[in-house]
Amino acid sequence: MKIAFVNIGGSMFTFHNGIAALSAYIKHHSEHEVALIDMIGHPRPLKFQHQVEIIQPDVIAFTAMTIYWPNVRALATRAKQMSSAKTIVGGYHPTFAPEECISHPAMDVICRGEGEEALLAFLNALERGEDYTRIPNLWVKKDGNLYKNDIRPLIANMDELPFWDRDLFNYGSWYDAMPTSLSDLDRPERTVTLAASRGCYYDCTYCSNEPLKAMYGGKTFVRTRSVDHIIKEMKMLKARYNPDLFEFQEELFVAHLDWLEEFADKYKREIGLPFNISYREELARTKNMELLAKAGCNSIAFGVECGSEEYRKKYLTRRMSNRKIEEAFDRTHELGMKALSFNIIGMPFETYDLIQETIQLNRRLQADYLQWFIYQPYPGTILYNICKENDLLLPGYTSSYISLRPGIKLTHITREEFQQCMEDFMALQREQQGYDWLDIAAQSNETLVNVRYATEEERYDIMDLYNQTFQRDHGINRWEWFRRNPEGAEKTPSPSPTGRTSSEPR
């Protein structure tokens, strides 16, 4: 049985943790063949068709965040027009919008929740000619019937899972050209990503963890790998890829003191490289932070999200005070680690003054890296339901994480005020770190790539801001630059994190 995973995304980052985990599990437990159809950047149908013709898969597997569901639909439709392969989609969107996904005529099966065991059972059943309509986690369309199966228990022992399959992505060949880690955009570093756990203890209303916990019936949701299992993988990664830095990409790095004490000792002694994590301000207690610093932690990413204590508590279920946030950043800096600040604007009922509170809090925090995103409502989350109940949802789906348009109807702030808040946030970024949101977007290429798939109004918004940034960074209007350089876009200077360009026009 041959399965082809389709990697869809809006940026230049090829490696996909979820696909790598699924591929590793299938290879570890079976003889099924696994292939990758890489559609990163933008999903060109002809390229997709060519890859399907070459691979000739029995199953074409998609993974879909909500923002990428329109692209998945289009490619699945193309697959059905040219291939007899079964189509299956897993990930966030089919988990929380299952009816929408399974009702699409080009989709045969959807997978809800964690997919390792369900996908393997599906492939085994297909290969043996057995019934696959009763596999837990799967919704299946067959012979005009729809079979909706319950969710299986979570995999409890993380050490039983094989290491991510990086070979599927030809990790070693593209790795050298991979962009730097988030905390060090101004200097090149070879960064390898991994995860120490799955799940999160908290219930932020904009995040999937709260509905996921509800879907799994309150069972143990946060599961952590043993220190020895992680060290074993990192030794392998260190030998194969010679990284400068490791980055843990789970929502929340492990907080148990016993685990941290063991990790700090063994990591420093056996790995000895800097690493990055994500953490909660409430967990930034002295002992935890000292252990992270002892182990060699390079940077900690904190979700600040909003500068108003009242709004955070009422709408985001984030109950920490601003003082607690400032103490977390201060403690991080005092121990010689970098502190990263991530924020959201354009949330339900947010006003101009509320966003300005967020900007002013970030001014006080003096983060080493500051980023903000425009809120996008995700089905299944509490905040999505609030938007739905108050008629704040917009038709369709945003085409990118990096969007310059509000993700919902803004009822308490004008478009002009919202634009001013974005400009104020970018000004603070330039003031504190020398580059801003659009520089980072240009580096990942996601904003410009998604112009192709944006609405007409989105195109105008994106290109207008891009033109403004080009003028600011290069001291010349973009169209005037093209007039002077008729050879075209291949030599177009790109904004760099430092604000410098090697091909600046004279």
- Note the pLDDT tens digit of each residue in 9-19: 755 457 899 99
Write the single-letter amino acid at 472. Answer: R
Give the rounded percent of residues in the chain with a pLDDT score beyond 90: 70
Residue 213 or 488, more confident? 213
Q: Is the model's pLDDT at 345 over the cut of 70?
A: yes
CA distance 138 to 122: 9
Q: What is the pLDDT of residue 388?
A: 96
Q: What is the pLDDT of residue 8?
A: 87
Q: Is the model's pLDDT at 90 over the cut of 70?
A: yes
Q: Is the model's pLDDT at 496 over the cut of 50?
A: no
- Please report, for residues 18, 296, 333, 372, 424, the alpha-carbon distance to residue 325 in angstroms, rounded to integers and kept in the order given: 31, 22, 13, 16, 21
> What's the pTM value of the predicted model, to 2 decimals?
0.85
CA distance 255 to 240: 29
- The backbone region for 349, taken as left when phi is positive above 0, alpha when psi lies in -120 to 50, beta otherwise, is left
CA distance 436 to 495: 10
| Domains 2-148 and 170-435 agree in fold | no
Q: What is the pLDDT of residue 468?
A: 59
The CATH label, of 3.40.190.10, 3.10.129.10, 3.20.20.70, 3.40.50.2300, for the domain at 170-435 is: 3.20.20.70
- Note the pLDDT tens digit of each residue in 430-484: 898 887 666 655 554 444 434 433 444 544 455 555 555 556 666 665 545 544 5
Q: What is the pLDDT of residue 67?
A: 86
- Please report, for residues 20, 144, 187, 329, 383, the alpha-carbon distance to residue 13 in angstroms, rounded to integers and kept in the order given: 13, 39, 18, 29, 28
Q: Is the model's pLDDT at 339 over the cut of 70?
A: yes
Q: Where are the domains of the chain?
A: 2-148, 170-435
Q: What is the pLDDT of residue 173?
A: 63
Interior angle at CA 56, CA 147 and CA 87, nearest 5: 20
Q: What is the pLDDT of residue 184?
A: 47
Region 249-265: mean pLDDT is: 94
Helix (H) / strand (E) element for 86: namely strand 86-90
Q: What is the pLDDT of residue 270?
A: 98
- Note the pLDDT tens digit of each residue in 204-253: 999 999 999 999 987 678 999 999 999 999 999 999 999 999 999 998 99
Indicate the fold that domain 2-148 takes in CATH: Rossmann fold (3.40.50)
What are the residues whose beta carbons fall under 8 Å from the beta carbon of 468, sequence distance 6 or more?
A: none
Residue found by looking up tokens 């003082």 in the block: 323
Residue 188 in 3-state DSSP?
coil
Region 411-430: mean pLDDT is: 92
What is residue 207's DSSP assignment? S
Lowest-pLDDT range, 121-125, 215-219, 244-248, 362-366? 215-219
What is residue 408's DSSP assignment? B
Edge-to-edge strand ranges of the sheet holding 86-90 = 33-40, 2-9, 59-63, 86-90, 109-111, 138-142, 145-148
Residue 30 or 452, more confident? 30
Q: Phi, psi at residue 381, to the nearest 5°?
A: -80, 160
**Banded model confidence at residue 487, pLDDT cuts 50, 70, 90:** very low
What is residue 216's DSSP assignment? T
- Note the pLDDT tens digit of each residue in 186-213: 444 788 999 999 999 999 999 999 999 9
Q: 454: which 2 tokens?
A: 């944006």
What is residue 194's DSSP assignment? E
